[in-house]
Amino acid sequence: MSSSPPTSNARWWGLFLIALAQFMVIMDASIIGVALPRMQEDLGFTPHDLSWVFNAYVIVTRLVEVPQ
């Protein structure tokens, strides 16, 4: 079975989708970064606790986004 290589147009669409996904990841991490000071104030978290919150959020959201 032979398959033809993707056309140039398909490669650009692939690059666009990868860039868009990376932008969404960065934007998502930035949003929680903005929310952390309010969490610290309202819930009384220490800076150490905030790092756990941030890392747990990132890990869980990435596991949900990974196709199975």
pLDDT band per the 50, 70, 90 thresholds, residue 6: low
pLDDT(28) > 80:
yes
C-alpha distances in Å from residue 7, one per residue of 2, 47, 52: 15, 50, 44
Per-residue pLDDT, averaged over 35-50, amounts to 93
Picking from 10, 11, 55, 60, the residue whose alpha carbon sits closest to that of residue 36 is 55
Distance of CA 65 to the CA centre of its chain: 8
Cβ–Cβ < 8 Å for 31, 61? no
Position 68 scores a pLDDT of: 57
